[in-house]
Amino acid sequence: MWNELLGAFAAVATLPNFIAMAAGIWGGVIIGAIPGMTGTMAVTLALPFTFYLPPVTSLLLLVALYKGSTYGGSISAILIKTPGTASAACTVLDGYPLAREGKGGKALNMALVSSCIGDFISNISLIFLAAPLAMFALRVGPPEYFMLMAFSLTIVASISGRSLLLGIVSACLGLLLATVGEDMYGSFRFALSEDMKSGLGVVPVLIGLFALPEMIKLAVFRPEENTQAMKLGDNRLTMSEFRGSLKSIIRGSLIGVVLGAIPGIGPSTAAFFSYSEARRTSKNGDRFGEGELEGVAASESANNGCCGATMIPLLALGVPGDVITGVMLGAFMIHGLTPGPLLFQNNIGEVYSLFIGMLFSSLFLFVAGKLTASGFAKISRIPQQVLLPCIVILCVFGIYSVASSPFDVAVLLVMGIVGFVMMVLNIPAAPFLIAFILGPMFEDNMRRSLAISRGDLGVFFQSWISWGFFALTILFVALTIRREWQKWRSTSRAAN
Amino acid sequence: MTPNRDFYTGLVATAFFAIVLFVLIPVYVRVPSFIPGFAPPPDMWPRIIAWVGLVMGVLALALAVPKMRRSTGEKVETVGAYLRANRIFTYRFVWMIVGFAVFVYLMPKIGFLTATMALLAFLFIMTGDFSKRAWMIGLTILFPIFLYVIFTEITHTPFPHGKWFSLARLLHLI
């Protein structure tokens, strides 16, 4: 392993890779700092450009965008009380009161330092956990994979939205859309036009679903913006302030690693969990919510602690844990790499290059944050009515450039409308996206299993691994139903 | 989220999956007369998904009805009344769909560059906020040209010229 890591170090340390990582970090921070723009949007917008880059460079660019946007969300959270990304929502609680006290720069510095530490710990855990998990996954056959994917989709469906039912509806829509085109035995399904015979491209569907609905929402509802940015003020983070928050940073990073590695949970939950733990155990617990640096540290270390950890199930099992890793799965496939246990056998060089590059990107994040915090602070004031239309045009150009296909542009716009309708109906988009990407593999494993067993459904329950995933799926569904039932009962009681 | 919205979400999901199951799959998923080995037929997977989606849609619908009745004093708001109450949003949404459709239709006729300029102008107008008018006008003209040059020079993308008119060809001549 150490030899491979050293080899990867040499492979990563090239100018194009450094430029990609720096561009990714800066681009991610900029996008994350703009309210309404998400990390998912940052990664999906960059996807068309990665077609023209080598696999490792393009993956490093996407990972850097992910990390940058996760940190960038804290800038607008602290300075204008509007989290740039959902994962930074918790940072508002203490970040904005600090900015009002004239300590915005201090809060940003604490967010940066804790983000970088959380990110570094997450990357280390990825390096040490992904390979053993992949080795275990080598023993997994099509029936077990089918059960694993059903389990992952169930978790994502139940956690991403407000209700399990709508989450499953969303996943079904994604799975159905993935069946459009030619199947593995050459039959055409839902080929309503000649263009649809080759199926729907991953990139137009992803970008349409995540980048366009914000523009349509702005055009339809026209919300009034009233964001007054605070000044950076006191910028210096002292050693004693850092030491006072170190325990929360380490704990937050570990919480981020554990929750990030579980498909479907993601950085927002990790940030809130870490924040509440820090509040419970800190001697300044009663100051939380009024401008406590430790609160910023706890939430930021946890949300960035998820960044590397969400890659563990993606790389080792080929199962994306959240939307961003779902997009990354698409990027891997575009470059002919298939995440999963075989990736560690067939493309070990690329895997270790990615690991090393991720460690470098933590460093880039720190440098970028230190050098340009004041510049980033201005970005959070860019008005959405100027920005969002330009993003749509960028998407249209990007999508057309991928395959020179007007059909892909039409798919992009239609998916934007679908994404907006889903947003209005409160159907979560994350299960849709992950189901759309996993759909072909999901079906492939089901059909292979049934072909092997000559149509006997018992093949899905022949090994303890299958049983384990089945039991976990049932347990998770039962817990979600119990939670929803309790919520429904308390609402009914309140109504009566 | 209003209880009405829960109800309409269930309704849309149920209707969609019912159409897929009973109309689209029989018509648009052809099952070959001979399938080698024990491979499941191509319509099996879409049918499973559509059934699951349909059941979930019906459940969502069924669970939303009592909540909706309770919150609206036993009166259920009709789709028509709901749309009339939100008329302005509905119009704007329809305008967005029409704008996108016109863009896709005009792209081969007036060329990619001109069509994207028109789309950008349309999107700026749809935001309804013209406080940054100078920026908007400047970006409408310059941003698509900037992207056109970047993508043509770096990725060598052959953007379509219009059948009726081509601004890109004109710029090239200049």
Of B13, B45, B76, which one is at a domain's C-terminal end? B76
On whether any CB of chain B is under 8 Å from the CB of A46, the answer is no
Closest to A254 measured CA to CA, from A113, A91, A121: A121
Q: What is the DSSP string of A330-373?
A: HHHHHTT---STTHHHH-HHHHHHHHHHHHHHHHHHHHHHHHHH
Hey, are the CB atoms on B32 and A179 less than 8 Å from each other? no
B129-150 pLDDT tens trace: 888 899 999 999 999 999 998 8
A188's enclosing H/E stretch is strand A188-189
Mean pLDDT of B27-41: 80
Q: Give yes or no for residue A29 having a pLDDT over 90.
A: no
Compute CA distances A119 → A77, A362, A420, whole Å.
Answer: 19, 6, 32
Tokens representing residue A66 in the block: 């992910």
Which structural domain range is residue B141 located in? 90-173
| pLDDT given for residue B79 in this prediction | 66
Q: Whole-angstrom Cα distance, residue A365 to residue A488?
A: 44
Higher pLDDT, A68 or B49: B49
Nearest partner of A302 among A104, A89, A156, judged by Cα: A89
Same domain for B71 and B124, yes or no, is no
Which ipTM score applies to this complex?
A: 0.89
According to DSSP, residue A182 is labeled E
The number of angstroms, rounded, from the C-alpha of A132 to the middle of its chain's C-alpha atoms is 23
- Coil vs helix vs strand at A181: strand
Position B58 scores a pLDDT of 93
* Same domain (yes/no): B161, B121: yes
Is B55 in the same domain as B103? no
In a domain? residue B83: no
pLDDT digits (tens, 9 = 90+) for A301-319: 998 888 888 888 888 888 8
**Nearby residues of A300 by Cβ (< 8 Å), 6 or more positions away:** A71, A74, A88, A91, A110, A111, A114, A115, A118, A252, A271
Which pLDDT does position B94 carry in this prediction?
95
Across the interface, do B45 and A406 touch by the CB < 8 Å criterion?
Answer: no
CA A392, chain centre distance (Å): 21
B95 and B24, same structural domain?
A: no
Q: Is residue B102 over pLDDT 90?
A: yes
| pLDDT given at position A84 | 62
Residues sharing a CB contact under 8 Å with residue B107, sequence separation 6 or more, in sequence order: A406, A409, B115, B160
- B76, pLDDT greater than 60: no
Q: DSSP of A382-423, one letter per residue?
A: S-HHHHHHHHHHHHHHHHHHHH--HHHHHHHHHHHHHHHHHH
Under DSSP, is residue A189 helix (H, G, I), strand (E, B) or coil?
strand
What's the pLDDT at A114?
93
Residue A370 has pLDDT above 90, yes or no: no
Please indicate, yes or no, whether residues B94 and B169 belong to a single structural domain of this protein. Answer: yes
Between the alpha carbon of residue B134 and those of residues A55, A223, A225, B113, B118, the distances in Å are 41, 21, 19, 21, 16
- List of E strands, B22-104: none
Does A385 contact B37 at a Cβ distance shorter than 8 Å?
A: no
Question: Do B1 and B63 share a structural domain?
Answer: yes
In a mutagenesis test of the B interface, which of A163, A165, A203, A487 is the best target, namely the one with the most B β-carbons within 10 Å? A165
Q: Do A396 and B119 touch (CB under 8 A)?
A: yes
Q: Is B97 contained in some domain?
A: yes
pLDDT bracket for residue A428 (50, 70, 90): confident
Q: Element (H or E) spanning A488, and its range? A: helix A464-495
Residue B174 CA to residue A78 CA, distance in Å, equals: 48
Please indicate, yes or no, whether residues B1 and B48 belong to a single structural domain of this protein: yes
Name the percent of chain A lying above pLDDT 90.
18
Mean pLDDT over B57-85 rounds to: 73
Measured in angstroms, the CA of A240 and the nearest CA of chain B are apart by: 45
Is B51 inside a domain boundary? yes
Under a CB-based contact definition with an 8 Å cutoff, are residues B25 and B50 in contact?
Answer: yes
Please check whether residue B107 lies inside any domain of the structure: yes
Full residue range of the structural domain in which residue A228 is found: 1-495
Alpha-carbon gap, residue A330 to A338, rounded angstroms: 9
Average pLDDT over residues A436-458: 87
From A397's Cα to the closest Cα of chain B, the distance in A is: 7
A142 neighbors A160 (Cβ within 8 angstroms): no
Find tokens 């009962």 and name the residue.
A489
Query: Which residue of chain B has the CA closest to A397?
Result: B147
- Does a structural domain hold residue B61? yes
Domain boundary at B30, B52, B76, which? B76
Pick the range with the lowest mean pLDDT from A58-67, A398-407, B74-83: B74-83
Tell which of A189, A195, A407 to mutate to test the B interface (max B CBs under 10 Å).
A189
Contact A451 B40 (CB under 8 A): yes
Same domain, residue pair B71 and B41:
yes
Query: Is the Cβ pair B123, A219 closer than 8 Å?
Result: yes
pLDDT at A4: 75
Show residues of chain A in contact with B155, CB under 8 Å. Answer: 51-52, 401
Is the pLDDT at B168 greater than 60? The verdict is yes
In a domain, B166, yes or no: yes
Contact A454 B126 (CB under 8 A): no
Q: Are B95 and B166 members of one domain?
A: yes
Same domain, B56 and B29: yes
Q: Which residues of A124-158 are buried (b: 16+ CB within 10 A; e: fewer)?
A: bbbbebbbebbeebeebbbbbbbbbbbbbbbbbbb
Compare CB distances from A401 to B97, B124, B151 and report the shortest one's residue: B151
In angstroms, the first-to-last Cα distance of chain A is: 63
For residue B138, tell me if it sits in a domain.
yes
Q: Mind listing the pLDDT tens digit for each residue in A146-189?
A: 888 888 888 777 766 668 888 899 999 999 999 999 887 788 89
B1, pLDDT greater than 50:
no
Res A262 pLDDT > 70? yes
pLDDT at res. B26: 93
CA distances (Å), origin A345, targets A55, A137, A138, A182, A249: 17, 12, 10, 29, 35
Cβ contact A169–B132 (<8 Å): no
The answer to whether residue B27 sits within a structural domain is yes
Residue A397 has its nearest CB partner, among B57, B108, B151, at: B151
Domain count, chain B: 2
Domain count, chain A: 1
